[in-house]
Chains A and B, each alone.
Chain A
Amino acid sequence: EKSKTSFFNKLSKAVAGKSKVDDDVLDNLEEILVTSDVGVNTTLKIIERIEERVSNDKYLGTDELNVILREEIAGLLSETNVGEETEFSIPTDKKPYVLMVVGVNGVGKTTTIGKLAHQFNAKGLKVVLGAADTFRAAAIDQLQVWADRVGVPIVKQDMGSDPASVAFDTLQSGVAQDADVIIIDTAGRLHNKVNLMNELTKVKRVMQKVVGDAPHDVLLVLDGSTGQNAFEQAKQFTAATEVTSLAVTKLDGTAKGGVVIGISDQFQIPVKYIGVGEGMEDLQVFNKYEFVDSFFK
């Protein structure tokens, strides 16, 4: 709170009645953004936007400033991020709605799936989980624990079996069970590993044998404490699977996850969810204004 107030105070002093912002204040803004992992490029872009606004609408008051700062930063987030959505929802015209979850190692894919399953299940939707991480030690057991915790069925095979085959089975079983939502867990993989990325493309393709337009949503999970490498992650996962939404996890710590601003801007992918803990309830629908505000806290 303290740094937030003092930053806005400084900003207003530097801008009130002027057509240019003081360098000191811009330096301060740069520090806040860069240390939130926004990255140099995106930070410069934001600063340019602020400067432009200030020179256009001269004689700004304090209140307007606060609004401008938020607007210009939030404005970079993909337009589909209206920032007013508060409900966990899925389109009603797709049944089953197939969600595939991807990302690098350890970011929180399986946990996010457990939390999502809980949200959908609580809304009375029928959820089926698919354990297509057949590689990481005890990955299947981990998803099983989540399935039991939430009380939803899981489709699985043995460790080491073909992930595409598990996904195929899950969709067949989901269709047979008249499921509303099917969520496929995949093994963590670094985006620079060509074979593993190809495997993901295959998993996606095989699903379409059961449900023609599946997956309806490819959710890329990003660890909120990741820095600029997240850009490359978004790029490569998009190339392999056409990522359609983002989740940012572990925002209950001191990391800010600012890198998603540039990612959402560059790839036009909306951020849908944020993870704020390890429990079942610790998933929130993304709100861009709250997100931006957290940088200044």
Chain B
Amino acid sequence: MFNNLSDKLDKALHVLKGHGSITEVNVAETLKEVRRALLDADVNFKIAKQFTTTVKEKALGQNVLTTLQPGQLMVKIVKDELTQLMGGDAEGINLSGTPTVILMSGLQGSGKTTFSGKLANYLKTKKTKKPLLVACDIYRPAAINQLHVVGEQIGVEVYSEEGNQDPVAISQNAIKHAKSNGHNIVIVDTAGRLAVDEEMMNEISNIHKAIQPQETLFVVDSMTGQDAVNTAKTFNDILNFDGVVLTKLDGDTRGGAALSIKSVVNKPIKFIGTGEKMEAIDVFYPDRMADRILGMGDVVSLVERA
């Protein structure tokens, strides 16, 4: 895939080389390849289209400085635009509550339970907080157990109520428990749910209303394809979440879903997950993500060759 893309862009950039300025005609092929690169990276169809249109508008008529090849200029425009879209500076997490309540949400298997543990560990070790993990997934087999194992690994207390079938009540009881036991952070893990599952979306909406979290995080698998926009939009409509967590970035996915989600809900991506271990958490860097989506390492090196 990488080679293919490089070859294509190489060809496309060759067309631009030797022209004094970028015109509708000479840029067309390059834009087609950029759009294709975005689609191969799983950027949503409509967003990829919009993106290339914006890039074209920015590029048209720009004179190519003597030091810059037209191809280089295009790469710069694409990268700048992508970075800007991915969000400015890394945004932190709001810890102003007493206790601070953080609600996890997302599809099945996206990495909510693992990330709950990672975040608790991060806040405990890096911010000297005293977190409480709360098990509100009453559906998935052994979900409560999983959170307990995670809690044990990082030395963080886990609140659960075996047999209680009401996640709203569990989350409320957990906050009472946190208050009377000196926890200043409460992280509520929830069951995975599909955006089209009305009953389950109502449930998380009710949890959200009942506990009024300072931070609601939408956890999404970075390998997600075109559907990322639908899911992100519905979760955002219902929860108006504060930030996004992008998991499993230790894989080799390009992660175009990040751009799609950012474009659709315009919420900051706050953290990334980079492994299964509790330490595998990092803050989000927009420019690195932009590089990743376009395989910019390749593109830059090929422009240098040109």
In contact, A35 and B252 (Cβ under 8 angstroms) = no
When distances are taken between beta carbons in the complex, the residues of chain B under 8 Å from A190 are: 248, 250-252
Contact at A252–B194, with CB atoms within 8 Å?
A: yes
Q: Which of A242-288 contact B (CB under 8 A)?
A: 250, 252-256, 259, 278
Query: Given the complex, which residues of A lie within 8 Å of B259, measured CB to CB?
Result: none
User: In the assembled complex, how far is the CB of residue B165 from the closest CB belonging to chain A, in whole angstroms?
Assistant: 16
Q: Are B36 and A229 in contact (CB under 8 A)?
A: no
Chain A contact residues: over half helix, strand or loop, or mixed? Answer: loop
Residues A225 and B224 in contact, CB atoms below 8 Å apart: yes
* CB-based contact A191/B111 at 8 Å: no
Docked complex: B252-294 residues within 8 A CB-CB of A: 252-254, 256-257, 276
Main secondary structure of the interface of B (DSSP, over half): loop
Could you mark each residue 141-176 of chain A with 1 if its beta carbon is under 8 Å from any beta carbon of chain B, else 0? 110111001000000000000000000000000000
Segment among A11-19, A79-87, A105-113 that sits at the interface with chain B = A105-113
With a 10 A CB-CB cut-off, give which of B107, B111, B141, B250 has the most chain A CB atoms: B141
**Closest beta carbon of chain A to B8's beta carbon, Å:** 11
B114 — nearest CB in chain A belongs to which residue?
Answer: A137
Could you tell me how many residues of chain B have their Cβ less than 8 Å away from some Cβ of chain A? 48
Q: Are B226 and A36 in contact (CB under 8 A)?
A: yes
Per-residue B-contact encoding for A110-146, CB less than 8 Å = 1, 0 else: 0000100000000000000000000111100110111
The answer on a CB contact under 8 Å between A144 and B142 is yes
CB pair A223–B251 under 8 Å, yes or no, is: no
Interface digits, B55-99 against A, CB 8 Å rule (1 contact, 0 not)? Answer: 000000000000000000000000000000000000000000000
Partner of A229, one of B42, B109, B143: B42
CA A192 to CA B250, docked complex, whole Å: 9
B149: interface (CB < 8 Å): yes
* B68 vs chain A, min Cβ distance (A): 29
Partner of A259, one of B109, B225, B276: B225
Whether B223 contacts A35 by the Cβ 8 Å rule is: no
The smallest C-beta distance from A237 to any residue of chain B, in angstroms, reads 13
Tell me the bound Cα distance from A137 to B221 in angstroms: 19
| Residue B53 is within 8 A (CB to CB) of chain A in the complex | no
For A106, A230, A250, A254, the residue with the greatest tally of chain B CB atoms inside 10 Å of its CB is A106
* 30 A–B contacts from the bound complex (CB under 8 Å): A40-B36, A40-B39, A105-B109, A108-B109, A136-B146, A136-B276, A137-B145, A137-B146, A141-B141, A141-B145, A141-B146, A142-B141, A142-B142, A144-B142, A145-B141, A190-B248, A192-B252, A225-B227, A226-B223, A226-B224, A226-B225, A229-B251, A230-B223, A252-B196, A254-B195, A254-B230, A255-B225, A255-B226, A256-B226, A278-B139
Where the two chains meet, the residues of B that have a C-beta atom closer than 8 Å to any C-beta of A are: 1, 36, 39-42, 44-45, 107-111, 113-114, 139-143, 145-150, 153, 194-196, 221, 223-228, 230-231, 248, 250-254, 256-257, 276
Binding site for B on A (CB under 8 A): 31, 34-37, 39-40, 104-108, 114, 135-138, 141-142, 144-146, 149, 190-193, 223, 225-232, 250, 252-256, 259, 278
Q: A37-B226, A259-B225 are known; give 16 further A-B pairs, CB within 8 A.
A: A36-B226, A37-B42, A135-B276, A136-B146, A137-B147, A142-B142, A142-B146, A223-B221, A226-B221, A227-B225, A228-B41, A231-B1, A250-B194, A253-B227, A254-B194, A255-B225
